[in-house]
C-alpha cells in the first residue's frame, strides 16, 4: 500500500470517533460494487426528524430526514466525526413530499393507522415504484449520507388495502437493500420483525420502535449474532424499565418522544 495512503488512513482513525469509523468495506459484494460504511456493533446514535437539528448531541451516528437536510449539513456532521443516515419512507406515500405527484393513484392504498396524510404503497409494483425509489436513494447518496433508514417496509402485515403476501414484502425489501448497496449506502431494516431472520443477510443494521414495550426485542437476535447494530427507540417506557436489558443484549436503546425532536434519554 502506498505510504501516502497509509498516512491518510492513520490520520482518519485519529480524527473521528472509533464508534463511527468502522472500515468502508462491502462483505460478499460483487467486483466493482462501491464500498460502503459497515456500522460497528454498538454505535451511539441520535434520531431527529423534527425541529432545528441539534448537532451538539454526543452521538456517533445521526439519523435525520432526507428532505429536510442538504449536503452541507451532512458534510458538517462528517467533519465532526459522525456517520449520517437518511430517513425516508419507501413503503408509504407521504402527501407532503415534493416527489410524489408523479406516482399513480393505483399504487396508493389505505391510510396508515394514526397518520391520515400517509398511505401504504403497493409493494408488488416495482415497475412503478422502483425508479421512484432509486431517485430517492440517488439523492441520499448525492447528499453524502452513509446509510438509509427506509421506513414502512412491513405493508403486508398491515391493513394496506392490497392483498400483499410475505413473499411480496421480502422481494420489495431485498430490492431496497440491493438498490442501496449499489449506491454505496448501508441500509437499516425498520421494524418488520417477522421477517428479520430472512432479511438480516441483506441488511447492515436494524432500527426498531418499542420492542421492549411489546416484548419483541428477542426477534432482533439474528442481527446482534451477526455483529450488526440494533438501534431501539422506546416512547412510553421509562429507561429504568429497559436500559439494563438493552445493554445486556447489546442493543443501542434510548427513550424518545414520538415527535422525534432532539430530546432523548440514552441507555449508554
pLDDT tens-digit readout, 9-52: 343 333 344 455 455 555 545 556 789 999 999 999 999 999 99
Residue 232 phi, psi dihedral angles, 5° rounding: -115, 135
Q: Quick check: 64 and 86 in contact, CB under 8 A?
A: yes
Q: Which residues contact 146 (CB under 8 A, 6 or more apart)?
A: 36, 37, 83, 84, 85, 185, 186
131 pLDDT exceeds 60?
A: yes
Question: What confidence score (pLDDT) does residue 19 get?
Answer: 55
Q: In Å, how far are 119, 125, 228, 240, 241 from 205, measured between CA atoms?
A: 26, 26, 5, 25, 24
Domain spans, the chain: 40-266
What is the per-residue pLDDT for 84?
98
CATH code, residues 40-266: 3.20.20.70
Task: Provide the pLDDT for residue 64.
Answer: 98
Identify the pLDDT of residue 152. 98
Q: Is the pTM of this model over 0.85?
A: yes
* Tens digit of each residue's pLDDT (9 = 90 or more) over 136-148: 999 999 999 999 9
Percentage of the chain modeled with pLDDT above 90: 85
Amino acid at each position: 500500500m502506498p505510504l501516502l495512503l497509509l498516512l491518510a488512513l492513520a490520520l482518519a482513525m485519529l480524527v473521528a470517533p472509533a464508534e463511527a469509523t468502522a472500515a468502508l468495506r462491502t462483505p460478499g459484494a460483487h467486483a466493482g460494487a462501491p464500498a460502503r460504511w459497515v456500522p460497528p456493533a454498538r454505535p451511539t446514535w441520535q434520531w431527529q426528524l423534527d425541529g432545528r437539528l441539534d448537532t451538539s448531541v454526543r452521538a456517533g451516528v445521526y439519523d435525520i430526514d432526507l428532505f429536510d437536510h442538504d449536503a452541507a449539513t451532512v458534510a458538517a456532521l462528517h467533519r465532526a466525526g459522525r456517520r449520517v443516515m437518511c430517513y425516508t419512507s419507501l413503503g408509504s406515500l407521504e402527501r407532503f413530499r415534493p416527489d410524489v405527484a408523479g406516482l399513480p393513484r393505483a399504487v396508493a392504498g389505505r391510510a396508515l393507522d394514526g397518520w391520515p396524510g400517509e398511505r401504504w404503497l403497493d409493494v408488488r409494483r416495482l415497475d412503478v415504484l422502483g425508479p421512484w425509489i432509486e431517485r430517492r436513494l440517488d439523492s441520499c447518496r448525492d447528499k453524502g449520507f452513509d446509510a438509509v433508514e427506509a421506513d414502512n417496509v412491513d405493508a403486508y402485515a398491515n391493513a394496506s388495502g392490497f392483498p400483499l403476501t410475505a413473499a411480496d414484502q421480502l422481494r420489495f425489501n431485498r430490492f431496497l437493500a440491493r438498490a442501496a448497496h449499489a449506491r454505496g449506502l448501508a441500509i437499516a431494516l425498520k421494524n418488520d420483525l417477522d421477517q428479520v431472520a430472512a432479511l438480516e443477510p441483506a441488511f447492515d443494521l436494524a432500527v426498531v420502535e418499542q420492542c421492549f414495550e411489546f416484548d419483541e426485542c428477542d426477534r432482533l437476535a439474528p442481527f446482534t449474532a451477526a455483529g450488526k447494530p440494533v438501534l431501539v427507540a422506546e416512547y412510553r417506557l421509562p429507561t429504568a424499565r429497559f436500559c439494563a436489558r438493552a445493554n445486556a443484549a447489546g442493543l443501542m436503546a434510548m427513550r424518545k418522544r414520538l415527535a422525534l425532536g432532539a430530546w432523548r434519554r440514552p441507555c449508554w
